[in-house]
Amino acid sequence: MSTQTLKDKNSSIIGYIETRSDGTQVGKNRNSSIVGYYDPRTNKTKNRNSSIVGEGNLLASLIVSAS
Protein backbone atom coordinates (compact mmCIF):
# COMPACT_ATOMS: atom_id res chain seq x y z
CA MET A 1 0.00 0.00 0.00
CA SER A 2 1.31 3.45 -0.87
CA THR A 3 0.19 6.80 0.53
CA GLN A 4 0.18 10.17 -1.16
CA THR A 5 0.01 13.25 1.07
CA LEU A 6 -2.02 16.23 -0.17
CA LYS A 7 -0.98 19.71 0.97
CA ASP A 8 -2.38 23.18 0.48
CA LYS A 9 -0.44 26.19 -0.82
CA ASN A 10 0.99 26.77 2.68
CA SER A 11 2.29 23.18 2.83
CA SER A 12 -0.27 22.24 5.49
CA ILE A 13 -1.54 18.67 5.19
CA ILE A 14 -5.14 18.52 4.02
CA GLY A 15 -5.42 14.77 3.49
CA TYR A 16 -4.10 11.50 2.14
CA ILE A 17 -4.81 9.11 -0.72
CA GLU A 18 -3.94 5.49 -0.02
CA THR A 19 -3.59 3.10 -2.93
CA ARG A 20 -4.34 -0.51 -2.06
CA SER A 21 -2.72 -3.54 -3.70
CA ASP A 22 -5.81 -4.11 -5.88
CA GLY A 23 -5.57 -0.56 -7.26
CA THR A 24 -8.50 0.91 -5.35
CA GLN A 25 -7.85 4.17 -3.56
CA VAL A 26 -9.09 5.53 -0.24
CA GLY A 27 -9.28 9.26 0.42
CA LYS A 28 -8.79 10.47 3.98
CA ASN A 29 -8.91 13.92 5.54
CA ARG A 30 -6.11 15.38 7.69
CA ASN A 31 -7.44 13.41 10.70
CA SER A 32 -7.28 10.15 8.72
CA SER A 33 -11.08 9.86 8.59
CA ILE A 34 -12.25 8.25 5.34
CA VAL A 35 -14.03 10.65 2.96
CA GLY A 36 -14.33 8.41 -0.10
CA TYR A 37 -13.19 5.60 -2.36
CA TYR A 38 -12.12 5.32 -6.00
CA ASP A 39 -12.32 2.08 -7.97
CA PRO A 40 -10.31 2.18 -11.22
CA ARG A 41 -12.14 -0.88 -12.58
CA THR A 42 -15.46 0.96 -12.60
CA ASN A 43 -13.91 4.46 -12.90
CA LYS A 44 -16.28 5.68 -10.16
CA THR A 45 -15.71 7.64 -6.97
CA LYS A 46 -17.94 6.99 -3.96
CA ASN A 47 -18.27 8.94 -0.74
CA ARG A 48 -17.83 7.38 2.71
CA ASN A 49 -21.47 6.21 2.60
CA SER A 50 -20.82 4.36 -0.69
CA SER A 51 -22.98 6.75 -2.72
CA ILE A 52 -21.57 7.44 -6.17
CA VAL A 53 -20.12 10.95 -6.40
CA GLY A 54 -19.14 10.79 -10.07
CA GLU A 55 -17.04 9.22 -12.78
CA GLY A 56 -13.26 9.42 -12.63
CA ASN A 57 -11.02 9.89 -9.63
CA LEU A 58 -12.58 12.70 -7.56
CA LEU A 59 -10.89 11.87 -4.25
CA ALA A 60 -8.83 15.07 -4.16
CA SER A 61 -12.04 17.11 -4.53
CA LEU A 62 -13.69 15.17 -1.71
CA ILE A 63 -10.69 15.73 0.53
CA VAL A 64 -10.53 19.47 -0.20
CA SER A 65 -14.26 19.89 0.46
CA ALA A 66 -13.91 17.97 3.74
CA SER A 67 -11.10 20.19 5.04
Predicted TM-score (pTM) of this structure:
0.91
Confidence of residue 67 (pLDDT cuts 50, 70, 90): confident
Vertex 54: Cα angle to 41 and 27 (nearest 5): 70
Where do runs of H (alpha helix) occur along 1-67? 59-66
| Count of Cβ atoms closer than 10 Å to residue 24 Cβ | 14
Domain limits, the chain: 2-66
The mean pLDDT value for 25-45 works out to 97
The mean pLDDT value for 26-37 works out to 97
Confidence of residue 1 (pLDDT cuts 50, 70, 90): confident
| pLDDT, the chain, mean | 96
The mean pLDDT value for 35-43 works out to 98
**Predicted local distance difference test score (pLDDT) of residue 57:** 98
